[in-house]
Structure 1
Amino acid sequence: MSQFGATFRSFSTRRTLESKQTEIFSKMSEKWWDPNGTVKPLHAMNLLRIPWIRDRLGAIGAFKPAITESTPLSGLSILDVGCGGGFLSEPLSRLGGNVVGLDCNSDMLNVAISRLEKKNLSNLNYVQSTIEEYVDENMENYDVVVASEVIEHVEKKGEFIKCCVKCLKPGGSMFVTTNSKSVISGFFGITVAEKIFRLVPEGTHHYDMFVDLDDLKQLLQKEECDTIFSSGMVYNPFINKWYFIENPYILHYALHAMKVKK
């Protein structure tokens, strides 16, 4: 363990993240925290997904009902899988959660750690590893596992989900946001976002790696993790804002599942 709680380790080929995707993220790392830069939509998504995670945890009684307090997630252990530069890890830790940001990309983690040194967030740590390696020593360690905008870059989705769920305590919550697998999602998520508006670098997404909501539910259920909430999401690039919509099969979706208690 280094100063500021960052752990870097070597890992084997046990990884589900597609290698070309890792290269793309490395190139994006320098401008990761620019709110008008390469990943502008991800910055905007925080305004929707962070309150959503907080409120969903409140709805199932994961913390005391006073969610208006500044640190409602106090006492909860949270694993942010594929944390990148720390977009989600930082605000979740500010809400009081004991957060570990996990990523196999050292370029992205260096960005996250450089901010951690300045922000002095004692309840936030970063680990360089794959989830497939990390799970070996961290089974049932976490109250919450988050995989936001990650699974669409993963090749072996079943193995990825299995490892994420293994890190959850019985009764723990898993949160996922990702692209729906529909013709409309492919058009807007790839053609419009990457080639027309250039909201993200071309090649960031591949339609054949998108996962249908029902397929993801089945992968989770196979690991004894039941989906209790799902909702569609849509991004308006003209005003840089995300919204929840009723239909989760069109563009984007958010999912909350709970691991069955033993």
Structure 2
Amino acid sequence: MNMFKNLLANFRYFSTKPNVHQTEAFNELAEMWWNDKGILRILHTLNDLRVNWITTQLIKTGTIQKTVDKSTTLKGISVLDVGCGGGILTEPLSRLGGDITGLDCNVEMIKIATSRMQDKNVPNLRYILSAIEEYSTDNKNKYDVVVASETIEHVNEQDVFLKCCVECLKPGGSIFITTNSKSQCSKFLFITLLEDILSALPKGTHEYDMFIDIEEAKNLLRKEKCDVTFSSGIIYSPFNNRWYWIKNPYILHYGLHAIKSS
């Protein structure tokens, strides 16, 4: 407990009400966050797709060079993982050698993430307790990469959220987004099945009205002067616990990559 008090004393904590809807539900998920055999294994498995996707896109844009040694893939690159939770994606990104910051406004998630960070002694990784809306005020044009993976569907004012994410990007920097499609298939899987029928997730983890259509997400990015360079659907197979890219972004899930105008 003393370790957490000391760690949290060094965080910039903002008292403004965060632009997030399901804080209580996430608190219920805290204990199972790093159980890669439990229901959140679908998030752990998603790393196989999204880490490779992020690095591949950065190579294509010339932001990084392809390396044999994966521990240096993101060397010299600053990354902000917005809505990092307990660090499921943040940790793997830190192993690629970049300067990684995980940002979340949920204190329980930050406790989980920092505990693991201290155990692993990762010098290029830090976690900050804050909402992006407040954090962006003093951190404009700071990061080469901003990642908002499985986050925007939990945000009330999505236009404000994306505006603040883009503000943290350097001109020419990349933003990566993955989220639920606004479809009946997505609603059935994440709400009806996982929450209502199986009770595998706490009720209220997802709100269908907060799922964002891919075209709307693209328009919000363009409004912030970002050029969308990649958009594709993502599908999950429960038979082998793997995620795959598909052409249709309207079925279950999708990913977007955009570049901030110079």
Answer yes or no: same fold by TM over 0.5. Answer: yes
The amino acid across from 1:61 in the alignment is G
Q: Identify the residue that residue 189 of structure 2 maps to in structure 1.
A: 188
* Offset from partner CA, 1:138-192 (integer Å, 9 cap, x none): 0000000000000000000000000000000000000000001112221222212
Quick check: 235-244 or 89-98, which moved more? 235-244
- The answer to whether the 8 A contact 1:144-1:173 is kept is yes
- The answer to whether the 8 A contact 1:77-1:97 is kept is yes
Q: Identify the residue that residue 259 of structure 1 maps to in structure 2.
A: 260
Distance 1:237 1:195, change over 3 A: farther
Q: Identify the residue that residue 163 of structure 1 maps to in structure 2.
A: 164
For 1:235 and 1:12, the matched residues in 2 are separated by 37
Structure 1: 5+ residue runs without aligned partners? none
TM value normalised by structure 1: 0.93
The amino acid across from 1:128 in the alignment is L
- 1:62-211 aligned at under 5 Å gives the runs 62-66=63-67, 69-211=70-212
For 1:231 and 1:126, the matched residues in 2 are separated by 30
* Offset from partner CA, 1:207-231 (integer Å, 9 cap, x none): 1000000000111111111111011
The amino acid across from 1:96 in the alignment is G
Q: Secondary structure at the match of 2:256?
A: strand
* Offset from partner CA, 1:89-113 (integer Å, 9 cap, x none): 1110101110000001110010001
The amino acid across from 2:89 in the alignment is L
- The answer to whether the 8 A contact 2:29-2:201 is kept is no
TM value normalised by structure 2: 0.93
For 2:192 and 2:152, the matched residues in 1 are separated by 20
Structure 2: 5+ residue runs without aligned partners? none
**RMSD of aligned residue pairs (Cα, Å):** 1.8
Quick check: 183-192 or 136-145, which moved more? 183-192
Distance 1:239 1:155, change over 3 A: same
Quick check: 21-30 or 180-189, which moved more? 180-189
Q: Identify the residue that residue 15 of structure 2 maps to in structure 1.
A: 12
Q: CA deviation at 1:56?
A: 0.9
- The percent of aligned pairs where both chains have the same amino acid is 54
* Offset from partner CA, 1:21-41 (integer Å, 9 cap, x none): 111111111221010124221
Distance 1:195 1:68, change over 3 A: farther
The amino acid across from 1:165 in the alignment is V
For 1:106 and 1:180, the matched residues in 2 are separated by 28
For 1:229 and 1:130, the matched residues in 2 are separated by 27
Q: Identify the residue that residue 240 of structure 1 maps to in structure 2.
A: 241
Distance 1:198 1:183, change over 3 A: same
Distance 1:57 1:6, change over 3 A: farther
